[in-house]
Amino acid sequence: MLHRRETDKQSKKISAILTLKEDLVWLFLFFFLKMKSNLSDVFYGLYKSTYKTKDGQTRLLVSTHFEPTSARMAFPCFDEPSFKANYTIKIRREEQHVALSNMPKVKTRKLGNNLVEDHFAETVKMSTYLVAFIVSDFQSISGTTSSGIKVSVYVNPEKLNQAHYALEAAIKILEFYEQYFGIYYPLPKQDLVAVPDFQSGAMENWGLTTYRETSLLYDPETSSASDKLWITMVIGHELAHQWFGNLVTMEWWNDIWLNEGFARYMEFISVDATYPELQVNDYLLDTCFTAMRRDSMNSSRPISSKAENPTQIKEMFDTVSYDKGACILHMLRNFLTDEVFQNGIIHYLKKHSYRNAKNNDLWNSLANTCSEEDFASAKYCYTKNQASKNIHNYYVREHFDVTEIMNTWTLQKGLPLITVEQNEKRIKIKQERFLEGILPDDPLWTSMQTDFLWQVPLTYITSHSKSIGRHLMKNQSDTIELEEDVNWVKLNVDMNGYYIVHYEGNGWNNIIKLLNQNYTIFSYKDRANLIHNAFQLVSAGRLSLDRALDLTQYLQHETSNIVLLKGLGYLEGIYHMVERRNISDVTKSLKQYLLQYFKPVIDRQTWSDEGSVSDRMLRSNLLQLAYDLQYPPCLQKANELFGKWMGFGGKLNNIPSDVMKTVYSAGSETPTGWNFLLERYKVSMSGAEQTKINSALASCKDDANLARLLELGMEGNVIKTQDLPSVIYRVSMNPAGQLLAWNFVKKNWSKLLEKFSLGSFSMRTIILGATSPFSSKQELEEVKLFFASKQEISQLRAPQIALENIEKNIKWLERNLDILRKWILENLQ
């Protein structure tokens, strides 16, 4: 051991420089360091968590969360992803507790005085942020995969009955990944733990994945169809990380999308393969729609972005890394074909196992795929022949380079707008950057278009052929020559590409006419894509709002739940925007129109949990809309169900889980009902039910109760601190609470920063949630002044996004309010 001469503590004590007496000349150097630290009072490092039993006792546990830069809070280390190492962990605990870590326990040594020391097997080589350990009184259920991996789910003992679905799903998905990746899971066990206090949704610690209770526990009586889908997708995400992120890790945080984008995309592939009845691929559309909305703002960023300090690194865990990352992988998979894509990622994982990788390593593996024989013999081949052969069948005579193509999607921000002009046998196309809130007549528009160019794998169908045409667009403008005259063309088939399409001339008129004549001429994914594109183009000032609204009128005949939900979402969003601005005449007439238009499908809904996943999700959304619009039959039924439930003291589970939120919302409107729901929240052992109650409590019209709810979230006893950001968001979405939520954030800013770190998902939710309803110049100026007074957030992206959102809302209303008012009056019966 070398003697330390000096320790220079830096950056709020998160790092130290050791200056040694002599130069390092040895190949191996051993540091023996002792460290003491208190348990963290936030959600990072080694921190304390609590839960309450049914009889009101408070139980303690300790858990870790080290991603991205918090392993240093628990033990001295080179806390960067490229410094992979093997870890040997020993934990001292009281005998009544259970200790868990990444690897199985190999022995326990008794120390006396009710203390024991657990020794865990040495870990595989891994990054610091994946180290994990937990000490608790949890109990578990276990099973074994077909390859002999022990899988266990650990939970609060009183919630053990809610762990069975997670165990089943984890085993099935782990088995699927072993087959899909062609690599056995490398550890002897996989534990899944429901942690009562958890800031993220889940964390992929190798061999010891941790989750919010609502992301792991499924209660058949209170969990809805969407709850089940969410749990399955989160498990799929974290188990995908055991390969993408753990086995192969990005070299630095600027490429965190290699972890998170892949894990997000593998959610869809794995859940579709193991639970096809959940119809998960329908929701890949929404994932890409969400990514596009974020990416269409000037405040967006490239997927691969600079991240040099802990705050910047935390900000990388966002929609761009997760959702856009997943969507460009989906586009690439459809471009390369399934076979080439799968072989390429197997090559990537095998070549870089227990090492770190960059963007180009992935592109090289996807371009240079190997045969099954090469994989079997552990060879790594470097030929483009196989990839070229597969793709040449689709992109005839077109040269392509995977790295060149994908660099245009990862190294520049934004997404392309493809403008189409179709004339008989010729399709003229041009591309530019799509900007949702900045119009071509804006002085800033030209500068924001400079130097943006994508290589776009285009797909299309025409009036004369359902066969998919393909073309790789590399220039600002291009022409596709067809073999025959056509009446119409539709680009981005099944929404497999990451771009917006605008049909010039009579293009949109032709599409609207086709949808009204025979909407099944397009697939349901294409119909959802058309609705999304139309309303995005309205925000960009490229399409008149009345044309987008005309397009939705065919929805009265629509049979796809996913498409109905997409159309409903845009119309409901417009309604809530004018409602929050208190534009009474438009709010009233739009309410009448929505009830007139959706009444037949609302009346067909049953107050039950019957049907497919999409049936159940449509029911939940439609009945909630009917309640928000104060539709009398809905109000009557919701109040009737709530009255019966409250009459039995909340002990009789007679409310179907899919309509629970609507029923609770109705009950929250009376002081008695609101207080009853709060008391039920305190004693409920179901996180799914608590989430629905929380949402209902935030939907009431009583200012005093909304203020009380916010204070309960700040106190962190009845409502856990982890749930405070969602409470602020829900109250702000309530027209009666939007100013209340904003004033609460301003008043408690310092306290919020103590609870949630800068750059974290929680602070992002608070900033965006409290400001997203605003749509006036006065509100914009107030938010600007507040942000300007807080120097600590001057470089964060979230405030930039918040301001751009408000500006976008202002411009939308200025351009479209009169059009909306006129269109509704013309279409009311």
CB 695 within 8 A of CB 723: no
CB 91 within 8 A of CB 131: no
Q: Which two tokens stand for residue 678?
A: 């709060």
Instruction: Kindly give, in sequence order, each residue whose CB lies less than 8 Å from that of residue 159, ignoring residues fewer than 6 positions away.
Output: 194, 213, 217, 685
Q: Which two tokens stand for residue 503?
A: 């049909």
CB 728 within 8 A of CB 744: yes
CB atoms near residue 306 (< 10 Å): 11
CB 551 within 8 A of CB 511: yes
Q: Which two tokens stand for residue 588?
A: 């009233």
Residue ranges of E strands in 434-585: 456-462, 465-473, 477-481, 489-491, 500-503
Q: Is 251 a catalytic residue?
A: no
**80 annotated as a binding-site residue:** no
Q: How far apart are CA 783 and CA 801, in angstroms?
A: 12
**237 annotated as a binding-site residue:** yes
CB atoms near residue 582 (< 10 Å): 8
Q: Which of 67, 178, 204, 238 is catalytic?
A: 238
108: enclosing H helix or E strand: strand 105-112
> How many angstroms separate the Cα of 184 from the Cα of each of 35, 371, 677?
36, 19, 47
**339 annotated as a binding-site residue:** no
Is residue 216 helix, strand or coil? coil
- The distance of Cα 520 from the centroid of its chain, to the nearest Å, equals 30
Q: Report how many helices (DSSP H) and strands (DSSP E) the chain contains, helices first.
A: 30, 23
Instruction: Kindly give, in sequence order, each residue whose CB lies less than 8 Å from that of residue 514, ignoring residues fewer than 6 positions away.
Output: 488, 521, 522
CB 491 within 8 A of CB 501: yes
Q: How far apart are CA 4 and CA 20, in angstroms?
A: 6
CA atoms lying within 13 Å on the CB side of residue 804: 18
Q: How far apart are CA 828 and CA 821, in angstroms?
A: 11
Q: How far apart are CA 471 and CA 398, in angstroms?
A: 8
Q: How far apart are CA 207 and CA 185, in angstroms?
A: 10
- Which residue type does 573 have? G
> How many angstroms separate the Cα of 504 from the Cα of each of 171, 514, 523, 644?
50, 16, 22, 56
Backbone φ and ψ for 120, nearest 5 degrees, come out as -110, 150
Q: How far apart are CA 93 and CA 125, in angstroms?
A: 26
CB 53 within 8 A of CB 96: no
CB 724 within 8 A of CB 716: yes
421: enclosing H helix or E strand: strand 416-423
Q: How far apart are CA 679 and CA 770, in angstroms?
A: 26
- Binding site per annotation, positions for Zn(2+): 237, 241, 260
Annotated catalytic residues are 238
- The annotated binding site is made up of 237, 241, 260
